[in-house]
Structure 1
Amino acid sequence: MAPEDLDGILPEPVRSSEEPLRAIVDWARRYLCRPHPELGRKGDVCPFTEGAMARHTFYMAVCRGVPSGADEVAATVAHYRDWFIDLEPTRGPAAQFKTILILFPELAGPDLHPIIDDAQRMLKQAYVSRGLMVGEFHDGPPDKAGLWNSTFRPLRSPVPLLAIRHMVPTDFPFLSLDDEHVTAYLRLFGDRVPTHLQPQVAAATARLGKAVP
């Protein structure tokens, strides 16, 4: 589903998921596409969401029911990696704005949040190796702090979900602690590391025994 699909008559299988879909579209427009006083930098909370919506590359899927655990969530989401890569647009500027949000409405509440968090950790390497990022969001909020303000928790959402997008050069802080993630990052962006991240990348490349980009 895309946000514009909610403007028409929904297919019967989708009607039971209308509430979480609308909640996420509203959250994206009111939160992700706007600045936040606690963010610690200028600009929208997510630099890509408004562009994705404008280009009609903001997609949503809903998985109903309570999974048995993180293994089941990871298995459900794993196939989205190859589908994301093949989903149009596959090249050009618009491709960078493509995103898929996979909603798990029944995983709300603190007792179930670890399922989303653990599934994200299980999936991350397979996604990063293909130049993709997979992020966890729920109403917890997740433990991860903002990059520009350590007291801000930016990954809060009204419906638990996993989000898929392309990796970008500024993603290095999310990858810096894992050698395989660093290697994947250097393969893609080693020749165009943002200036403010060059000291971190240099330290990681030295740890790996690689040449500093």
Structure 2
Amino acid sequence: MLTMTAKAMPATDGRFFRMKEVRDIANGISQDSDIARLLDWVESYLMNGHPDLGRTGAVCPFTRQAARIDTVRLAISHARPEDEDTTFALIRGAFTELEAIPCKPAMRHFRTVIVGFPDCDSAEGIAMLKRIQRRHRFYSLARARMIGMMHAGSEDRGLWNPEFRPLRSPMPVLAIRHLVENDAPFAALHPALMVAYLARFPIKGTRRLVNHFRSG
């Protein structure tokens, strides 16, 4: 089987684009292309409401606001399950890309990077991407960053409706963003994340966690 290093890659492979740039690219190619599919999912799913969400507002209000101020960067990687080293390097570089997104200082926490992996839509591919996520866990927490994974078969439950599966996507995705004060419900589920969360938000974060636990 040809590996990523031995086959011709699309010009967009592994490159980070503003959403406006992705729209321009999508308008010039087939709408079922990978970069167009990723953009469509971000705009039609993450940035919109859902009847099963369990609350009002967008599935990811964070992404909606980030898109409004142009602090989202999208990328497609055609890495395959056997391309773990290449994928690791790409995601490590995505952290650098995140820090390079220009914005006002008060808006830095809205910066986010979303990378789609259409050629990893298999059990082997999902397993490889989960390893990449785990390998970056402490790297991200040390920098008060979050790295999340989404894919078509995700069974992660919703915070407001446990029957809803909010992390399902049309292709495997790894996303990186800032740890924010509103992440208290996520911090409550993961001890390592809670430590990083309280280090970042010692007073307000403690209040939010206490309120979260009291609310059940």
2:138 is the counterpart of 1:125: yes
Aligned counterpart, 1:33: 47
Query: Hey, which bits of structure 1, 4+ residues long, moved more than 6 A?
Result: 15-18
2:123 is the counterpart of 1:107: no
Length-normalised TM-score, structure 2: 0.78
Structure 1 gaps of 5+ residues are 203-213
Distance 1:26 1:188 in 2: 33
2:157 is the counterpart of 1:152: no
Aligned counterpart, 1:210: none
Structure 2 gaps of 5+ residues are 1-16
Compared with structure 1, are the counterparts of its residues 196 and 177 closer, same or farther at alpha carbon in structure 2 (3 Å cutoff)? closer
Partner SS state of residue 38, structure 2: helix
Identity of matched residues, %: 31
Aligned counterpart, 1:20: 34
Displacement of 1:63 in angstroms is 1.5
Compared with structure 1, are the counterparts of its residues 150 and 7 closer, same or farther at alpha carbon in structure 2 (3 Å cutoff)? closer
Compared with structure 1, are the counterparts of its residues 39 and 53 closer, same or farther at alpha carbon in structure 2 (3 Å cutoff)? same
Aligned length in residues: 197
Which AA in structure 2 matches 1:181? Answer: L
Between 119-128 and 16-25, the greater mean CA deviation after superposition: 16-25
Displacement of 1:122 in angstroms is 2.3
**1:32-80: CA deviation from partner (whole Å, max 9, x where unpaired):** 1111111112211001122122211111122213142656533431232
Distance 2:55 2:206 in 1: 16
Aligned alpha-carbon RMSD (Å): 2.9
Distance 1:38 1:137 in 2: 17
Displacement of 1:114 in angstroms is 2.2
Distance 2:30 2:120 in 1: 16
Aligned counterpart, 2:24: 8
Between 96-105 and 189-198, the greater mean CA deviation after superposition: 189-198
Displacement of 1:91 in angstroms is 1.6
Distance 1:127 1:17 in 2: 34
Distance 1:20 1:150 in 2: 30
Which AA in structure 2 matches 1:145? Answer: R
